[in-house]
Structure 1
């Protein structure tokens, strides 16, 4: 059936038994001959047999003429598959309208894998560690799982099957055969190059533990970002990743290193939880030891422990974004690190107000950095960053964490991660009576409710004060 500037046809995936090529609209099963009451084929006035489309075979497609591509070759994209002729007609009309309005024509031959390669090449602003994680997601999951599909064909079901297969890595139920999708993912992991963990240590990807729900969320965010860009550049009409249901990520609430937990840790070596928080006394001991040792990055650790900056933020903040003499603030313009709730939003871009101690420490550090610059001479790298290596280059974030761990060990304190200094800052702000909304804004959380839900139960002093206040407000005849 012909439409203005387009054609509506039925097609199928049947193949020629001799050549193996798809028959497309030439499959004999697509058409049914019309017969009269005697069972004889009906013929038209021209003597040709009359036929109708077979409702039980094939799907509807639309095709139209598009402007030539970059190579100058003629283009006739297909739209489909559609369940009905009316749906194909509407798709054709929409495409022709977009074409008249100057919209680009989706490349029906572009595979998802080829598109991901194009997309990652354009991510020039990512820092190396983030780019490395994006490439790993593409090479280990996106391309082996769905890379063979046409970009325009990728849908919610494909993504759902991909995430299900990712969840079965090192986690396949006993007696269940791996799906074709899982086989492709496992093959990609077996061929992947070894990854860097620590200086001088390299290990492969053959880990025995299943991938966590939070890891699947991170993979999803990368693929969703790529598909979102495809929508913006009009390669596809919608982002199928927006409607995929993901596994629930369990909330890891911080636990305080109480005296009982410390005693048990010293006895067994076991850490009660993944996210641990020091008491104000423990945090103070850490800062005292760092200062006594003459730790070069002492002011960085003090700033993090009191103002709750993320590692990427404190390593990436620039002198030009500081105002130490008037407003007493640091402007944090961007961060590529995710928070514990797996979210990062515009709230991450914020101005952090500094206290007198942090201002004094930052001014002292600036003087130290100037002396290092003079000593380095022509070898100095002018990055403009507040915290740098001795030659002015950017600090390696892993080094900041490694130095932190060394100080913790020297102080004989119960272990926490460097990121947990951020949680220490939040809990101490609450102990000091800072309003929860101010705490949330200082940390740059996307949601106030997340701050309240995470930290309300962390600080015993706050909970005890609330309990005492509740009992005290009730009038009684006899003093209890």
Structure 2
């Protein structure tokens, strides 16, 4: 088991390896350090003497020999030293597939893992032996994934990137994911890799540590900031915004009156995606869940909506979490809006004829193709900007009729825009608004959490309780002002001491 030097030189006449007999081994840098050790006999009783090496120094060889001897009692440890990442991923996938057959895993989870293996992990770093896998291999893979479908892709092409491009270009006869890879997708691929390497450490005992630990880092500076909680657009905040453009925080929520004003405006302008905005404002599905929603998961007669999939990028995926797979019982008004939308979609099908592409989705482009998630946010933002532009025109002295003609909107839409300002929010904040209004309306927290697809009621309470309380207080003030009183000062006079004083 003592380390020795050897090389791969061959005898010029016999062509046999010289190994330890090479006369050039005395030269500096020639050959490397090796060692052999006794391993458990094979199943047929044959002697096994695996070799480790080559290493640049004798010390490195001794260190590796000591590490391997700690595994030598395991008969399969020697064979596992040759296992590549790709081979282990396939072995583990077979285990996972058997779990899915007995109900242990969802089919969508298994499909997501298969995609990560086929498109990224195997073509990228699948050839690397598990024992040789380092964090640098993993970082290089993610760096190459970030370059896919980018304008500078050709200029910065590496061998790793070429392998990824080749697999994606030939899968199912078409190019996969023509958009740049999102960070969320890289995170999902990373989750598959981490799970496999954890099994290699804990279950298979091939690795002593997971090389993927610590590879994925959040952006600097955000770790200690905590979660940004929603803030309500009160009348005072909206007034300040209209004067100065100041937005108090990134996550803002409309009041019920502001949300209603937006929906009325969207409907009055003839916005085609009004039904999508209505559904989101009332029940708060995530953007990807709205885009991925299929008619087969929506019953307008029973008013049941089954959220079971999402489309964050170019392909359908399962919901964000297991609790995201849920059923929502819709209200009568939302069901009416969706029935009208169904008729609109059927009319578009007739208009497009053979060119219509039936994607089976609830919300589509006019030709039936599934929506791209960014398009939804874009339409939402344009509606808010149009609302503000109509108000600007009126402030410049334009009449309602002139504004309507110039911007090609009905006069009723202009009047709705002039009624009150509409401070800006993001599309995702419609979901936040739905949550806070459900809580403010007295819906039990558990039900609100289930409607939103949260993992726990504690999370729902932590994020939305404050703004929901503020919204409820605003409603209470409105109710108080709505009820007429002949002596408004009488209530306040009850607590005034008869003797005066401060």
Tell me whether the two structures share a fold, i.e. TM-score over 0.5.
Answer: yes
Give the drift of 1:446.
2.1
Unaligned stretches of 5+ residues in structure 1: 2-8, 31-53, 61-80, 97-104, 116-124, 167-180, 197-203, 205-214, 469-477
Q: Which residue number in structure 2 is paired with residue 4 of structure 1?
A: none
Q: Over the residues paired in the alignment, what is the CA RMSD in angstroms?
A: 5.0
Q: Which residue number in structure 2 is paired with residue 297 of structure 1?
A: 273
Q: Which residue number in structure 2 is paired with residue 357 of structure 1?
A: 333
Residues 31-54 of structure 1: per-residue CA shift (max 9 Å, x gap)? xxxxxxxxxxxxxxxxxxxxxxx9
Give the drift of 1:403.
1.0
Residue 283 in structure 1 maps to residue 259 in structure 2: yes
The correspondence for 2:377, drawn from 401, 406, 418, is 401
Q: Give SS of 2:247's match.
A: coil
Distance 1:285 1:334 in 2: 30
Give the drift of 1:461.
3.7
- Using structure 2 for the length normalisation, give the TM-score: 0.56
The correspondence for 2:189, drawn from 222, 226, 230, is 222
Q: Which residue number in structure 2 is paired with residue 58 of structure 1?
A: 61
Distance 1:111 1:460 in 2: 53
Q: Which residue number in structure 1 is paired with residue 72 of structure 2?
A: 89
Structure 1 or 2: more helix by fraction: 2
Describe the shift of the 1:383–1:461 C-alpha distance in structure 2 as closer, same or farther (beyond 3 A).
Answer: same
Q: Answer yes or no: is the 8 Å Cα contact 1:299–1:362 preserved in 2.
A: yes
The 5 Å alignment of 1:33-72 reads 58-59=61-62
Q: Which residue number in structure 1 is paired with residue 307 of structure 2?
A: 332
| Aligned residue pairs, count | 350
Residue 417 in structure 1 maps to residue 426 in structure 2: yes
The 5 Å alignment of 1:8-157 reads 20=29, 23-25=32-34, 58-59=61-62, 81=64, 83-84=66-67, 86-94=69-77, 107-108=82-83, 150-153=128-131
Residue 386 in structure 1 maps to residue 362 in structure 2: yes
Describe the shift of the 1:460–1:394 C-alpha distance in structure 2 as closer, same or farther (beyond 3 A).
Answer: same
Q: Answer yes or no: is the 8 Å Cα contact 1:223–1:241 preserved in 2.
A: no
Give the drift of 1:154.
6.7
Give the drift of 1:406.
1.2
Give the drift of 1:382.
1.3
Identify the range of structure 1 (353-362 vs 16-25) with the bigger mean alpha-carbon deviation: 16-25
Q: Answer yes or no: is the 8 Å Cα contact 1:107–1:235 preserved in 2.
A: no
Describe the shift of the 1:427–1:150 C-alpha distance in structure 2 as closer, same or farther (beyond 3 A).
Answer: same
Q: Which residue number in structure 2 is paired with residue 194 of structure 1?
A: 151
Q: Answer yes or no: is the 8 Å Cα contact 1:224–1:241 preserved in 2.
A: no
Give the drift of 1:93.
4.6
Distance 1:252 1:289 in 2: 29
Distance 2:367 2:387 in 1: 29
- Using structure 1 for the length normalisation, give the TM-score: 0.59
Residues 420-451 of structure 1: per-residue CA shift (max 9 Å, x gap)? 11101001101111111111110111232211
Distance 1:189 1:17 in 2: 47
Distance 1:258 1:265 in 2: 10
Distance 1:84 1:372 in 2: 69
Q: Give SS of 1:433's match.
A: coil
Q: Answer yes or no: is the 8 Å Cα contact 2:198–2:210 preserved in 1.
A: no
Q: Answer yes or no: is the 8 Å Cα contact 2:307–2:324 preserved in 1.
A: yes
The correspondence for 1:456, drawn from 436, 451, 465, is 465
Describe the shift of the 1:86–1:190 C-alpha distance in structure 2 as closer, same or farther (beyond 3 A).
Answer: closer
Describe the shift of the 1:303–1:403 C-alpha distance in structure 2 as closer, same or farther (beyond 3 A).
Answer: same
Q: Give SS of 1:25's match.
A: strand
Residue 240 in structure 1 maps to residue 214 in structure 2: no
Give the drift of 1:257.
1.5
Q: Answer yes or no: is the 8 Å Cα contact 1:436–1:451 preserved in 2.
A: yes
Unaligned stretches of 5+ residues in structure 2: 9-24, 38-56, 91-107, 157-181, 314-318, 389-421, 478-493, 497-502
Q: Give SS of 2:70's match.
A: helix
Distance 1:270 1:20 in 2: 68
Distance 1:352 1:83 in 2: 60
Q: Answer yes or no: is the 8 Å Cα contact 1:430–1:462 preserved in 2.
A: no
The 5 Å alignment of 1:265-284 reads 265-284=241-260
Distance 1:227 1:13 in 2: 37
